[in-house]
Amino acid sequence: MIIIEKTNQNLNIGKNSTISFGIDFGTTYSLIATTISQNVFIISDNKNRALLPSVVNYSNFSKPIVGWNAKKLITSDPINTITSVKRLIGRSLKEIKELFPNLPYNFKSNKDNTISFIINNSLISTSEISSKILNELKNRVMSVYKQEISGVVITVPAHFNDIQRQEIKKSAQLINLNVLRLLNEPTAAAIAYGLHLKKKGIFVIYDLGGGTFDVSILNLSKNVFEVLSTSGSTNLGGDDIDYLLSNYINSKVLSLNSKNISTQIGLLDLAKKIKIKLSSEYYVKTVFKSYSFCITRMEFNNIIKPIILKTLKICKNALQDAKVSIENIDHVILVGGSTYIPIIQNDVMKYFKKLPLHSINPDQVVAVGASIQADMLTKKNKKNNIILLDVVPLSLGIEIIGNIVEKVIFRNTKIPIAQTREFTTFKDNQKSILIHVLQGEETLVKNCKSLSKFILKDIPQKLAGKIIVLVTFQIDVDGLLSITAKIKSTKIEKNICINFKN
């Protein structure tokens, strides 16, 4: 069994000892932890707060405010206070406007189809904002240990695409953090519970955080953690619950239907507070702009029922992909702050017919698992090491004639992996070939996520179908993609790693 505790005190690990950390970079809150022997320490701030709000305020652009002090400015300075930046990572301006139409920020679309914030006439990327949050966690460590961090494991939603994973890694690199591995959040939770309770069997990790939902099915044996399938959504989380509740209050309770930004931000902040109170109380009486009203838990349950049903549908798909029936599930683990909500706990229990495990704080379990993995990757002692077999969350392929996506690697394939497919030219005397890389499960290009385009030039001019192109997709343990395209029987070749410059 592992022991978990908070600390903001120096643990006297020794000057020559290497120390690594696990970071849970969350939509709403972030944490950092380290493992020493069998003890996991959640690093808290000087007020003994383990959670760091994932909020950055740029009212003073040269000296941004991060965390708790920034959180206080959400309602008074909404335009300069960036919240839930994790939800915007790797997204296009079009996606953001469709998914989050009421955000108070000003954006600029970048050439690589991502966005930058326009703040005080300056541009700042999502990776730069994310790096401020990671740096605040890093500063916590530096104030406690007074020594450099040898490496970090950073967790990401299992359903993050390649571009989003690359941006998280880039955010860490901006502040000189050595990323040992990007670890899927549900897998991190499984590591924590697998080593904490020494349990074996088929696990379901139900992870509903602030902005994302993941579910993973794992088979845990003595030292092998095998992910059987993973599924989820990067558009489903506690933020969506807050929006539903604030909209309900705005239109049904107060009949305001206000489009005013300050009113919307104020209602959203109120909705968060009501949501938290309704986890322990059956009704909440409150006042907003001289309006007195009451929200009951039954009302709240009805409001969020569609979100719960969406998560359970995703769970059903994950079970089908894993070829596992509900009857074969041994343990269910709840992860993420949104799982404190009683109806979510109850509906998950009913669906899987199992009482969920919650001996590790759902807010901390991902950071705990990440710190254990970081310790294993940096220590020479392999006694407690595990074999981790993770999977690709989304299928990868390239565009072919007819705006169709030809899959090269399918979702839930074990990683690391390399896969090669043969393609041919489609017209006579073709001089170049455009390789368009896509991610997603749909057949049509327009319904998948475009990751990159590159051109293979100076190919021999022959009849259509006579030139053979070998395209190899390679995915590493972080789930990051690199591609090689080569003309068979020639030296013409191009290699590419998916990142923002490609």
Q: What are phi and psi of 182, to 5 degrees?
A: -95, 125
Could you tell me which residues come within 8 angstroms of residue 105 by beta carbon, excluding any fewer than 6 positions away?
Answer: 79, 82, 117, 118
| 402 Rama sector, left if φ>0, alpha if ψ -120 to 50, beta otherwise | left
Active-site option among 45, 136, 167, 185: 185
Which one from 136, 162, 167, 207 is the annotated catalytic residue? 207
- Would you say how long the chain is, in residues? 502
Judge contact between 443 and 405, C-beta under 8 A: yes
Give the integer Cα–Cα distance in Å for 34 and 18: 11
What whole-number distance in Å separates Cα of residue 183 and Cα of residue 205? 14
> Does 24 qualify as catalytic in the annotation?
yes
3 state SS for 18-72: CCEEEEECCCCEEEEEEEECCEEEEECCCCCCCCEECEEECCCCCCCEECHHHHC
CA distance 15 to 17: 6
- Catalytic-residue membership of 185: yes
- Whole-angstrom CA distances from 264 to 78, 287, 336, 427 are 10, 15, 25, 56
Backbone angles phi, psi at 293, to 5 degrees: -160, 170
Encoded tokens for 497: 């790693």
329 token code pair: 């599930």
Look up residue 229 and give its two tokens: 């399938």
Among 24, 162, 363, 478, the active-site one is 24
Question: How many CB atoms within 10 Å of residue 262?
Answer: 12
Is 128 among the residues known to form the active site? no
- The secondary structure of the chain in percent helix, strand, coil, rounded to multiples of 5, reads 30, 30, 35
User: How far from 374 is each of 19, 167, 170, CA to CA, in Å?
Assistant: 9, 20, 18
Among this protein's residues, is 501 annotated catalytic?
no
The DSSP symbol for 444 reads B
- From the list 71, 86, 132, 170, the catalytic residue is 86
CA–CA separation, 497 vs 479, rounded Å?
12
> Which of 445, 431, 436, 439 has the alpha carbon at shortest distance from 487?
431
Positions of E strands within 234-330: 283-288, 291-296
Catalytic residues, by residue number, are 24, 86, 185, 207
